Amino acid sequence: MSDLKARVLDENLTPFERLTLLMQILRSTEGCSWDRKQTHRSLLPYLIEETYEVIETIESGRLVDLKEELGDLLCQIVFHAQLAHERGEFHINDTINLLVDKLIRRHPHIFGEKRDLDPQEVRDQWERIKVQSGEKESVLSGLPRSMPALTMAFRVGEKAGGYGFDWAESGEVIEKVEEELAEIQQELVSHSPDRKDRLENEIGDMLFAVASLARKLGIDPEMALKRALDKFCRRFGHMADRIRNQGAEFEDYTIEQLEEMWQQLKRRD
């Protein structure tokens, strides 16, 4: 066994200590040229990829694989912390201590005056504490613009709801969705020179309303859309296979025939 490997497998170290030591070695002159070359920016695609792999594992119910996928994601976090440590900015222990302090501060009903809050009350309290403590400039600040729009819509509504700016029940949101759909229909028959821009605005309002409806029903709109897309792609693939097996092409069928085939596949599902 090499000296480097023996150092990493030292039984006197905790698993986390071994991981951080391993990352230090990989980034050192004794380590790997690829690892030494990386930067925060160059690692972003891998951070995103590992995050989505964790999501996919949970969504698919393959929890037996979750242990490994979480490890891959943790590797990215430790990698970024090592880059910062090399520049003298912070150590990963600083990150952990900051997190612990933050979690204690945002759970005053546990670590302060004991109170029995339901999950929604905890969520609302969390958002208020972030603003009151100065961690966030305003209720809606802090959301990265790079996050998926449906997820952002969900979080914006959740944050605003934490301050009481929300519908009381899902039925009211359904009315809002219907209202936005009616406004789209009005724009469709208009002859306004900026019709396309107005339609874009109205469709955006409707999507926001639909995301809010999902939130009120306890459904993640991003995950719901992904499942719908997976279902569509699966059925469309089966339909394409059926047409190909018949020695035909899509254009050989009328839209009515394709719709009937689609409904057959839907009933089979």
Residue 3 confidence (pLDDT):
86
Q: What are phi and psi of 149, to 5 degrees?
A: -60, -40
- Phi first, then psi: what are they for 49, rounded to 5°? -60, -45
Domain residues for 243?
223-268
Instruction: Report how many domains make up the chain.
Output: 2
* Residue 188 placed within a domain: no
How high is the pLDDT of residue 37?
A: 96
User: What is the three-class DSSP state of 62?
Assistant: coil
pLDDT at 243: 93
Choose the final residue of a domain: 103, 136, 153.
103
pLDDT at res. 161: 85
> Lowest-confidence range among 127-131, 171-175, 183-187, 206-210?
127-131
pLDDT band (50, 70, 90) for residue 66: very high
* Token pair in block for residue 15: 């698993």
Last residue of a domain, one of 55, 75, 103: 103
Report how far residue 111's alpha carbon sits from residue 160's, in angstroms, rounded to the nearest whole number: 26
At 84-98, the pLDDT tens digits run: 999 999 999 999 999
Last residue of a domain, one of 103, 120, 146: 103
Instruction: Give residue 238's pLDDT.
Output: 93
Tell me what pLDDT residue 145 has: 82
Residue 26 lies in a domain: yes
CATH number, domain containing residue 47: 1.10.287.1080
**Does residue 8 sit within a domain?**
yes
Q: Residue 243 falls within a domain, yes or no?
A: yes
In a domain, 158, yes or no: no
Taking only the tens place, the pLDDT of each residue in 129-180 is: 887 877 777 777 778 888 889 999 999 998 888 788 899 899 999 999 999 9
In a domain? residue 152: no
pTM of the prediction? 0.66
Q: In the predicted model, is pLDDT for residue 245 greater than 80?
A: yes
Which single residue is written with the structure tokens 């000296």?
3
pLDDT of 1 strictly over 60: no
Q: What is the pLDDT of residues 8-33, one digit of tens each?
A: 889 999 999 999 999 999 999 999 99
Is 73 contained in some domain?
A: yes
Would you say residue 139 lies in a domain? Answer: no
User: In this model, does residue 113 exceed pLDDT 60?
Assistant: yes
Distances, alpha carbon 245 to alpha carbons 13, 189, 238, 241, 265, in Å:
60, 43, 10, 6, 15
Task: With cut-offs at 50, 70 and 90, classify the pLDDT of residue 202.
Answer: very high
Looking at the chain, list the stretches that DSSP marks H as alpha helix, in order from N- to C-terminal side: 3-8, 15-27, 33-37, 40-60, 66-86, 92-105, 108-111, 119-132, 149-161, 170-188, 195-216, 221-245, 255-268
Average pLDDT, the chain: 91
